Amino acid sequence: MNKLYQIETLLKVLFIICYWVAFGYCIIIAVAACFMAVYRRLKTVEFSVAYLDRFLQNEYGTDIMLIMSFYFTPSASSDGYSLFFYVPLVLHFLTGIAEFIPLAR
């Protein structure tokens, strides 16, 4: 089992917990988990247009774009973020955790 995959899954679980408890750290944890997932799937880091294209076609790369769009979107809550916006990300992380569980056995 890849250690990076284990840490990524732990960050996904931590994100779901922080989503309800300490929302301030939630974005940092989600971005870290997404970058680790993209690195795990693409196996390398390059600075080229072709890599950016593969990065954005990856589902976790689109999650990062989703987080960035939420960061610049004002909402009705007092601190500028709404928990409702992050429900798709929570669901995607839950499916990622569900994929990891059979591999960990």
pLDDT at 60 over 50: yes
| Cβ pair 72, 43 in contact under 8 A | no
- Expressed in angstroms, the distance from the first to the final Cα of the chain is 10
pLDDT tens-digit readout, 61-100? 989 988 888 777 665 444 555 677 788 888 999 999 998 8
Q: Please name the residue ranges forming H helices in the chain.
A: 3-20, 26-42, 49-57, 59-71, 87-104
Q: What is the pTM (predicted TM-score) of this model?
A: 0.82
Q: Which residue has the tokens 């880091």?
A: 45
85 contacts: CB under 8 Å, gap ≥ 6: 70, 73, 75
User: For helices 87-104 and 59-71, what crossing angle results, to 10°?
Assistant: 150
Percent helix, strand, coil in the chain, to 5, is 80, 0, 20
